[in-house]
Structure 1
Amino acid sequence: MGVSLSTAHVSSWQQECASRFNCTSSGLVDIFGQAASCPANSTIQSVPGIWGITYEACQAECGMDKIVQSIDFTSAAVPLTTWLLPWIALIAQLPFEANGWRDLLSACLCVGSPALATYSLALTTFNRRYITNKFKRLKEKAEKDTQQRYHYMAQRAESAAFVLQEIQQCPMRADQRSGELASLIVLPDRQNFWLIAAKDLNNTRRGFTYSFLAQVILAFLSYLISFIAAVHDSLGSPDVGLQFASSSVWSWMFPIVYGYIRVGSQFQAGAIKQALVDNTILPQRGVSAHGTDVAEVMYQKGLRPDADVYTPLLFLETPGRLTLPSGSSSALSAAAQSTQSAFGGEDIALEQITFRRDGSVVANSEHQRERSEKASLLSRTDTAELEGPVSPPTWLGIDVRGDERREGPIFNYARILTWFAFAEHVRKGFETAINRFRVKPKPATPVGPDTTFLTVTVEGTPAADVTMIPLVTAKDAADCCRLAPFKDLPAFLSWEKIPSAAIRHMLYAAFLALFLLWGTTGAAIFVAYSTPAVGLGCRSGSYLIYGIAATVSWLLLVFSQFASHALMHRFEQDPDNYRLSTGYSVLGGLAVITRILGKTLAVANAGWLIASSVLEEIGAFQTCWCQTDAFQYHTSGWTPVFKAATDLRSQASGIWIGGFTWSIVVCIITAVIFT
């Protein structure tokens, strides 16, 4: 029954309810919820075996139509200030850097789904270690095994490792369409780019500032003092025990806040773009559309801090005829016409020349090979200059790319596959170049017009120990990195080409996310559940709902990432005809719907956690339904209205301290992993 005009508002629901019963009342029970009684001439307080009342007895005498706990914000201010506000204050230290309203969304996603925040943070941590190990070996090779003239690659590898580690909170693409990626990797005049980019990223990196340390230390000390005072003065009080539970469900914030500072993130949105593009102007050398050498100054394009997709620079390999992919643009068609013009305008038979999918041109005669190579460079340069990014795929007008294109650390979960593709393109370029530079030149061999340059076998190993490698143009750099001068580098790999390290990182991150979420939320559920009357009530039920919603939200968003990746892989291969592929609408719908559901659930769950924490402190759970664990037992539950703190001490104090301690241990283990 609901509140009526005759309902009495009382300051203590438990005391008022207990005063309405005596030894002649029905519905009295012991600590196990079994019926109990006392002599008619005695009082309930004098009989130690009587603990509480049944659900029916509670509703009859203490239902909401009889008495209601009044909301006293004055008395609730102390527990709210000491037990809840320190956690609310720490929200300001959660990773944002998403710009505008997305900062608020990032905070809601972190609070509403700690599993998502932990998953993104763990991926960032594992990726950093992966890059550190790989580039440490490359730096050692460059220092010890390369020729003296190529020792600059050691410093470049060190700077590149730092850059790759720090740009994970932004969508990244490796771009070889104009030959710029290979140029960035090996050309000597690109050294300043890596040094300046690393310096700028280090300057804009979040660190352990005094303001951060002060806020975290004050929050922790406030929490610790409250805990010590509660243990010393009030241990045994159900209110204190449930405050332990409420604090445990928030304790995941310590390792998350610490972890994001420890692994590093940029302090504002746009910092990565400024470091990679806006702050550095580089000389560009290459071949123009007219076959002449060009030299100009422009921003680098090898490392693109965006999620744009371009029309593929691909020709199809068709027997007996030079053809284009279906749906090719007019610019690409014009490029093909210029290619055919180089051969006299006639159709080119397969036995004379072949355009392969990787963009290379193969001819059977030396004369044809020279002409076909020139035609390939012409057509590719024309296409690269004329084609801009294509419109991204949508489903009902909503971008299918989702959070992969969003900037901000919380969205790193959606970039694990594209970041690995990007990082591997860069790493393999460095590895190939450094391996080639390991060949020692023959002594006293002059470098002149008749110099024979290093040749490489099909397997990528040096064929002979000859002389220095020319590093002047973009084509020289591409040859050194074993890349085509103009080539598409995929950002969305097929499932079988995803590196095994990426899969391991996702599995480890998923385990850590569940460990932290349920290690802290599970401790809160355990404390609230085990506090007499034992059972799943409003408090333990609210924590259980929070944990389940946080897990489901994280799973929905991760699933959305996989669906989006599958569709974007098809789109990247053929932006004009991807809709013709089987399952386009299904993949697009799954990617968009699961992403919206996951975010909506996380935002609602964040509000639920804060609201339930406040409701606990103001006495909103002081009802028969909540106190008798009706969430689990329905009408067969009971509540211990007759026992004070001293009676509960022996029954629940060990459980409260144990649950609280376990949540702290979980947080410490997680923080150590992030260190």
Structure 2
Amino acid sequence: MKLISRLFSALLLALTLYPVRFVSATKTFAQCLNEVQNGTYGPDAGVDNSGRPVPNIQDATAIPYEICVTACGGGSQPFSWSDFSSEFSSWLLPWLALLSQLPFGANDKLENFLSVVLTIGSPTLAAYSAALTVLNGRWIARRFSSSSYPNTYQAVRTLSSLQQAPIELATSESLLASLVVLHENDEWWIELLEHLNYTHTWSISAATSIAWVLIAYIFTVIESLSNVLQGVEVNGQAVGSVWLWLLPVVIAWLQISPKCDSVRVKDALDRANKRAYVARPDGNPKPACSVSDHRGLSLNEDDDALHNDARCTSPIYNYSRLFSWTAAVEEISTYFREATRRSRLFQPVATDTEWVPGNRYTAIHEQNRCGTSFEVVAYCTSFLGRPTRWGSGVWGRIIVASFMALLLQWGTAGAAIFVVWQTPTKGLGCRSGSYLIYAVFSTAVWALLLLSSILSHYSTLNFPSRDLRETERYHARAELAAMLSVFLRRLGKTLAAANTAWILTTCIFQFSAFFDRCYCDSSALGLGFAKAYNVIQFTSVDLSTMRAAWIGGVFMAIGSAALYVGFINVIINPPLPNNPNRE
């Protein structure tokens, strides 16, 4: 933390504390080096590219920082529109255009804009939510793998599609049990799955955008490696690496095809719930709409600050729905497993009837799925064990998704830092420091929002206790956790917005030669003012080292992106239980 504080303070010092000295450079660095080689500033005013004094001042290829400021001025080198437009359009513009392929779905321009800001501000969070979504899909398939009761396949598909929705269950009045047991509700599952079965996946537009970005990246990388010295201080090699995370994240969401359109999701549930039936005490099921306005499965539309992120259907907010979604899935899967167990023992729902054998078209006859509300609830209620308060396997999924997200974030950002670090003057400078701050803040935003989701779930847990004092203490802790959750979420979003502005400003500074000044080119941030020096004339050794570092950075960034995409492709689309399409 001290290192980050030092980095941030030093960068602010470099960019704001000396406005008079940093307004503009009086000479180009090449002119300054000629004056130093001519002895204008004394016989000891020049050094070599390792910062060591040279015996002959005419052999100097670098200038110490203090001499650089004196000879050249503290400002940046002259702005070149041709360099800026070329680098900006080649290295940054394609990535900004690719943002349009991210899934949104909030049907609110402000919410969608905030989703983009949160994605740019924390690629770690974006990659984490995508990885978590595919891990959840595999987990739910395994959770239902032992179930064979009717509608198991529809339940898995439906619940997996509802990861982007704030679902809640109603177990009272046999509402949820009726959805699982009653044959009248078969149409409910079919209707809901049919209206959720729309895709946000590959299209000509998406494929064209990805191809454009990938081809532009490859071409610019090849061009930069073929002529390392051309515009080395405004080169976008590092910028291309620091933005490369966007490509695998977009590809992942296109493959996942999240059901995130809030209007369509709500409409699908409303349509299905009009067909819902609920068991009654007399054994004659009735339409749920004629009994009450509650439904077994619905959307949480409570207007409270604690669940703001969970209500937003943009997929990047999947992190906030993990615990509530897992709890809902476990509750439904428990019903299906118990109903499956009893059906395999040939036990009908109604206790006073005999088991009616099925046929080639229906494994479980409809008469075996009828009963009173009490019998329906009892049929799918297990007394062997209840779901855990946090959800089974949830921490393992969090760890795996976190690892993949951090791998992608630090693989791409690390490549950018490495490329700039190895470009003379070697060391920590304005450019590498800016990319380091971006990666650290991205990680911090993810950590804050993940902690916020954990505290939010903790604040909603029930704590059954007969001790009144203990119950009061728990409620006090729950209220504190809720308040802290809201605070951490708002802090994380504020940091994400600041980080978005930071990386965009950094890229513009890179291309506009704002960083091409004595302080930044001397790596004074890492070396310190006394030891900093500005390399102006590159040697053949420098060129080969730079080219090797740039190639290494490209492979590092591409490798981490490829590993992430490979992980998504391995985990996605697990075999589903009771799949009617299976041969």
CA contact (8 A) 1:163 1:197 kept: yes
Residues 1:499 and 1:285: Cα distance change in structure 2 (over 3 Å)? closer
Q: Is residue 517–residue 547 contact of structure 1 (8 Å, CA) maintained in 2?
A: yes
Task: Confirm whether residue 27 of structure 1 aligns to residue 45 of structure 2.
Answer: yes
Task: Check conservation: 1:80, 1:617, Cα contact below 8 A.
Answer: yes
Seen in structure 2, the aligned counterparts of structure 1 residues 19 and 449 have a Cα distance that, compared at 3 Å, is closer
**Structure 1 residue 222: deviation in Å?**
1.5
Deviations 1:361-407 (A, max 9, x none): xxxxxxxxxxxxxxxxxxxxxxxxxxxxxx85xxxxxx233423332
1:121 to 130, 152, 176: 130
- Per the alignment, residue 63 of structure 2 pairs with 53
Deviations 1:162-183 (A, max 9, x none): 1111110111112212212111
**Cα separation, partners in 2 of 1:157 and 1:279, compared to 1, 3 Å:** closer
Q: Distance in 1 between matches of 2:564 and 2:206?
A: 20
1:216 aligns with 2:210: yes
**8 Å CA contact 1:125, 1:263 repeated in 2:** yes
Aligned pairs for 1:567-586 (under 5 A) are 567-570=459-462, 581-586=475-480
User: CA 1:429–1:18 in structure 2 vs 1: closer, same or farther (change >3 Å)?
Assistant: same
In the alignment, does 2:489 pair up with 1:595? Answer: yes
Is the alpha carbon distance of 1:285 and 1:656 closer, same or farther for their aligned partners in structure 2, counting shifts above 3 Å?
closer
* Deviation for aligned residue 1:206: 0.8
Q: Which amino acid aligns with 1:430?
A: F
* Contact kept in structure 1, 2:166 and 2:325, CA below 8 Å: yes
Q: Distance in 1 between matches of 2:143 and 2:458?
A: 28
Alpha-carbon separation, structure 1, partners of 2:162 and 2:352: 44
| Distance across 2 between alignment mates of 1:5 and 1:650 | 34
CA contact 1:230–1:240 (8 Å) conserved in 2:
no
Per-residue CA distance 1:617-638 (angstroms, 9 max, x = gap): 0000011111111111221244
What secondary structure, in the 3-state scheme, does the structure 2 residue paired with 1:184 have? helix
Match for 2:164: what amino acid? Q
Deviation of 1:580 (Å): 7.8
Report the residue type matching 2:378 in the other structure.
Answer: D
- Residue in structure 2 matched with residue 253 of structure 1 by the alignment: 246
Report the secondary structure of 2:427's partner residue. Answer: coil
CA distance in 2, matches of 1:451, 1:88: 65
Aligned residue identity for 1:221: I
Counterpart of 1:508 in structure 2 is: 400
Please give the alpha-carbon distance, in whole angstroms, between the structure 2 residues aligned to 1:162 and 1:622: 54
Q: CA deviation at 1:565?
A: 1.5
Q: Which amino acid aligns with 2:128?
A: Y
Matched, 1:134 2:134: no
Residue type at the aligned position of 1:528: V
CA distance in 2, matches of 1:479, 1:266: 33
CA distance in 2 between partners of 1:214 and 1:448 (Å):
58
* Alpha-carbon offset, residue 133 of structure 1: 2.9
More displaced stretch, 110-119 vs 30-39: 30-39
Match for residue 311 of structure 2?
405
Q: Is residue 202 from structure 1 mapped to residue 96 from structure 2 by the alignment?
A: no
Aligned-pair distance for 1:450? 6.7
Cα 1:432–1:15 change in 2 (3 A) is: same
Q: Of 208, 221, 229, which aligns to 1:227?
A: 221
CA contact (8 A) 1:251 1:663 kept: yes
Q: How many angstroms does 1:658 deviate by?
A: 0.4
In the TM superposition, what are the counterparts of 1:524-563 in structure 2 within 5 Å? 524-563=416-455
Change (3 A) 1:401 1:23: same
* Alpha-carbon offset, residue 240 of structure 1: 7.6
Corresponding position of 2:530: 636
Residues 570, 532 of structure 1: alpha-carbon distance in 2 compared, 3 angstrom cutoff: same
CA distance in 2, matches of 1:532, 1:560: 42
Q: In the alignment, is residue 83 of structure 1 matched against residue 98 of structure 2?
A: no
User: What amino acid is aligned across from residue 435 of structure 1 in structure 2?
Assistant: R
1:440 Cα deviation after fit: 4.1
- Residue 68 of structure 1 and its aligned partner are, at CA, apart by 3.9
Q: Distance in 2 between matches of 1:530 and 1:420?
A: 46
Tell me if the contact between 2:283 and 2:372 (Cα under 8 Å) persists in the aligned partners. Answer: no
Structure-2 separation of matches of 1:76 and 1:653: 22
Alignment CA distance shift 1:269-1:185 (3 Å)? same
Q: What is the CA–CA distance in structure 2 between the aligned matches of 1:5 and 1:166, rounded to whole Å?
A: 58
Stretches of structure 1 that go unaligned for 5 or more consecutive residues are 143-152, 309-390, 393-398, 455-466, 485-489
Answer yes or no: is the 8 Å Cα contact 1:54–1:637 preserved in 2.
yes
Q: What amino acid does structure 1 have at the position aligned with 2:253? A: Y
Partner of 1:461: none
Give the secondary structure class of the aligned counterpart of 1:29: coil
When residues 5 and 481 of structure 1 are mapped into structure 2, their CA distance, relative to the original with a 3 A threshold, is: closer
AA paired with 1:77?
Answer: S
99, 115, 119: which is aligned to 1:106? Answer: 115
Task: Report if the CA contact (8 A) 1:401-1:568 is conserved.
Answer: no
CA RMSD of aligned residues (A): 3.3
User: Which has the greater radius of gyration?
Assistant: 1
TM-score (normalizing by structure 2): 0.83
For residue 458 of structure 2, what is the aligned residue in structure 1?
566
Deviates more, 1:544-553 or 1:257-266: 257-266
Q: Distance in 1 between matches of 2:146 and 2:190?
A: 19
Amino acid at match of 2:107: N
Give the match for residue 577 of structure 2.
Answer: none
Cα distance change of structure 1 residues 179 and 229 upon mapping to structure 2, 3 Å threshold = same
Q: What's the counterpart of residue 331 of structure 2?
A: 425
Please report the TM-score for the alignment, with normalisation by the length of structure 1: 0.72
C-alpha deviation, 1:293, in angstroms: 6.1
Structure 1 partner of 2:173: 178
Contact 1:237 1:644 in 2 (8 A): no
**Whole-Å separation in 1 of the counterparts to 2:441 and 2:545:** 31
Partner AA of 2:286 in structure 1 = A
Equivalent position to 1:15, from 19, 24, 30 = 30
Q: After the TM superposition, which segments of 4 or more aligned residues of structure 1 sit over 4 Å from their partners? A: 1-10, 291-294, 447-450, 570-574, 577-580, 644-647
Secondary structure of the residue aligned to 1:53 is strand
| Percent identity between the two aligned chains | 28
Deviation at 1:295, TM superposition (A): 2.7
